[in-house]
Amino acid sequence: MGSFGGFEMAIIVLIILLLFGAKKIPELARGLGQGINEFKKASNEIRSEIETGVNENENNRNSKTGPENKEKTAS
């Protein structure tokens, strides 16, 4: 039960070709590619929003404990 060999891959490609036809396969691949691109865009947007939130949180924390505030609390 290892990975697929060359013969198994050829059988799978042949079955896909018989099920969908030669004209449908490029359309399916194009749709799959567009779906992957949309997923990458969404994950990059989420990642940048999280990083922005973390950076803002760190900046707020640093500004509250900055040198000006430390001097005021010490006196």
Query: pLDDT tens, 5-15?
Result: 889 989 988 88
Per-residue pLDDT at 1: 54
Query: pLDDT tens, 26-62?
Result: 888 899 999 999 999 999 999 999 999 989 888 888 8
Whole-Å CA distances, 41 to 8, 12, 27, 49, 53: 34, 31, 21, 12, 18
Continuous segment of H or E residues that includes residue 61: helix 24-64
* Residue 72 clears pLDDT 90, i.e. is over it: no
Whole-Å CA distances, 9 to 26, 27, 28, 71, 73: 18, 21, 18, 71, 71
